[in-house]
Amino acid sequence: MHWLKRGFWLGLVLIPALTLSLSSPALAQKPDKAQAKSVGAKTAPAEKIRILVLPFAVNAGPELGDVAGSLPELLADKLRELGLAPIDAKTAAAVIKAGRVKSIGAAEAAQLAKAAKASFAVYGTFNQAGEDLSLDARLVDASGKQKPQQLTGSAKGIINVKPAVDSLAASIAQSALSGAGKAQSKTEIAPGEKITAVAVEGNVVLDKDVVLLKVKSQPGDPYDPRAVNEDLKRLYDLGFFEDVQIRVDDVPGGKKLVFVIKEKPKIMAIGVVGSTAIDKDDITSAMTTKAGSVLNLKTVSEDLAKVRELFVKKGYYNVDVSYKLEQTDPRQARLDIVIKETGKLFIKSIEIKGCKQLSASDAKGDLSLSERGFLSWITGSGVLTEDQLERDVAALESFYANRGFIDVRVGQPDVAFKPDGIYITFTVEEGSRYKVGAVSFRGDLLVPPAELAKHSKLAELGKSKGWFDRSVVRTDLNALTEFYSDQGFAYSQADMDIQKIPGADTVDVTYILNKGPKVYVRRVLIEGNERTRDNVIRRELRLADGDQFSGSKLRRSQERLNKL
């Protein structure tokens, strides 16, 4: 490829669905000779650490079955990215089948790792407690020189499972690559009795690995009652058990720890009592607790808050939401969500206090909340939501900042629920009002300041001594960035600096410009056009191969394609 012009180049990928992606200019730079030699030099490949990723035990609802089943593959892919060499899934399955293991612990994991000719093995559990998801894993050294290491990843909601897997993979890779844990393996165990085994009794619904992976006391550790008590606390914190006890048995060679647990009942059905405003299915769909899961009162408490929010959004602000548990036997229960509806409450009054220089009624016009009116049953006005309340605090700040009040402060609104409705009060501290003084430009100036001022509406306000307007500043920053973009500086940046003039109630504004590298179009690529020919699409484009980049021409190209 020859280089038509000096500078930076872009590759444009043009998709008829109007998705446009630009490659970084740093990637389009012409490499110098030193860089070329570095790229072409041969380096001896480092031997990668082989690791066997074993299936994870799943303690979650059926809706997470597919996600849980894909965990080993996701984990292996990320470990591969981080420089390890995971055993392929087919080989891993064959090793597990040949090993004939009924359950996987540290000893079994080490055995399987040796069979797969891997240095390490990783196994664990995938647990769900309401919206909280956790990945509890153990990294096992096949040689036995290092103690198994407990590693965890956690997520809030199914959408964050992948980041949790990535975090867990990073911890595993760091431990495996750096040899973390070697110091532990060399530490001498103090004289005394050792833990020879750790077992679980009493589990019916939950897998025993849920317990074992939360227990830090491991076979080979010195027996420490304080550490065992910490394990007991961790198990209670899971929320799945009514009772947890520890039995310590004397066995040849030391102590055997037995965690005797009593599970909370399994929820066989969920009912809704007393709701007339919201359908039962809508209520149960909003809940994390599902039929078939083990009762977790922490999760139930979170669900009650979610259900209450459903009623609040419909105007039932004084609704009472509770639960009732009916146990048919010690291991099964029915969960009823009990609703006590009250009359709807609507916004009766909105008051803005502290308005001295501006009209409170004008400020009120910028709010999204409004009082209950004659047509509220059509418009939906008069209903209070927390999102709108927060949005209106920002709206009041913008209302004042766009009219010269740079120092305005809006406090948290006061909301009073009374029998006849909701009363909302906003409190404003206006501060001083400022006019626009001098407007100047600093940094990479492509043209004289007088020419740049033509792209600034704030400069016009400065000439007429108008009130400072924050929205005009935002418009100016966009206009200046667009001007630089049209000169080929696709990655230009514009910022500002505001200086108050003491005693004058004016502000001087300086726009700071950074042009960045100049960019040219290397190639225009068209993808996704199944019916329209390339030449028809290119005919509508305002940019071609080798052109200097222009933001306005790029937007114009998109507009023309939209009209095809």
Residue 546 included in any domain: no
Same domain, 169 and 108: yes
Task: Answer with the one of 263, 292, 313 that is the final residue of a domain.
Answer: 263
Question: Stretch 553-559: mean pLDDT, rounded?
Answer: 93
Same domain, 95 and 116: yes
* Total domains, the chain: 5
Would you state the pLDDT for residue 15? 35
Nearest residue to 68 (alpha-carbon basis) of 139, 18, 128: 128
**Higher confidence at residue 398 or residue 331?**
398
Whether residue 286 is predicted with pLDDT greater than 70 in this model: the reply is yes
3-state secondary structure of 14: strand
Burial class (CB within 10 angstroms; exposed 0-12, middle 13-18, buried 19+) of 443: middle
Residue 81 included in any domain: yes
3-state secondary structure of 539: helix
Same domain, 413 and 445: no
Q: Which residues contact 268 (CB under 8 A, 6 or more apart)?
A: 291, 292, 328, 332, 333, 334
Question: Minimum mean pLDDT among 66-80, 292-306, 314-328, 454-468: which range?
Answer: 66-80
Task: Answer with the one of 123, 156, 186 that is the final residue of a domain.
Answer: 186
Question: Minimum mean pLDDT among 122-131, 339-348, 407-416: which range?
Answer: 122-131
Residue 6 included in any domain: no
Question: Minimum mean pLDDT among 6-15, 82-91, 219-228, 409-418: which range?
Answer: 6-15
Residue 301 included in any domain: yes
Residues 37-63 pLDDT 10s: 333 333 333 467 899 999 888 776 666
Same domain, 88 and 169: yes
Would you state the pLDDT for residue 378? 52
Which pair of structure tokens corresponds to residue 15? 């998709």
**Higher confidence at residue 131 or residue 496?**
496
Same domain, 54 and 176: yes
Question: Minimum mean pLDDT among 143-157, 287-301, 345-359, 506-520: which range?
Answer: 143-157
CATH code: domain of residue 301: 3.10.20.310
Please report which residue ranges of 7-135 form alpha helices under DSSP H: 33-40, 65-69, 71-81, 89-99, 106-115
Query: Which amino acid, 155?
Result: A
Residue 556 included in any domain: no
Would you state the pLDDT for residue 379? 52
Same domain, 204 and 216: yes
Residue 524 included in any domain: no
Q: Among all chains, which residue has been given the structure tokens 């420089």?
A: 83
Would you state the pLDDT for residue 205? 79
Q: Phi, psi (5° rounding) for residue 530?
A: -90, -30
Would you state the pLDDT for residue 5? 32
Same domain, 222 and 180: no
Structural domain boundaries, residue 378:
347-429
Same domain, 227 and 244: yes
Same domain, 54 and 182: yes
Same domain, 423 and 453: no
CA–CA gap between residue 358 and residue 343 (Å, rounded): 37
Instruction: Give the helix, strand, coil percentages of the chain, each rounded to 5.
Output: 35, 30, 35
Same domain, 113 and 150: yes
User: Which of the four pLDDT bands, split at 50, 70 and 90, describes residue 130?
Assistant: low
Residues 158-200 pLDDT 10s: 666 777 787 788 888 878 876 544 433 333 334 458 899 999 9
Radius of gyration of the chain (CA): 33
Whether residue 327 is predicted with pLDDT greater than 90 in this model: the reply is no
Task: Give yes or no for a contact between 373 and 381, defined as CB atoms under 8 angstroms apart.
Answer: yes
What is the residue-averaged pLDDT of the chain?
Answer: 82
Strand ordering across the sheet containing 506-514 = 435-443, 506-514, 493-501
Q: Does the global pTM surpass 0.85?
A: no
Same domain, 419 and 439: no
Task: Answer with the one of 340, 357, 383 that is the final residue of a domain.
Answer: 340
Please count the CA atoms within 13 angstroms of the CA of 96 that sit on its side-chain side. 19
Which pair of structure tokens corresponds to residue 47? 């031997």
Residue 170 included in any domain: yes
Residue 537 included in any domain: no
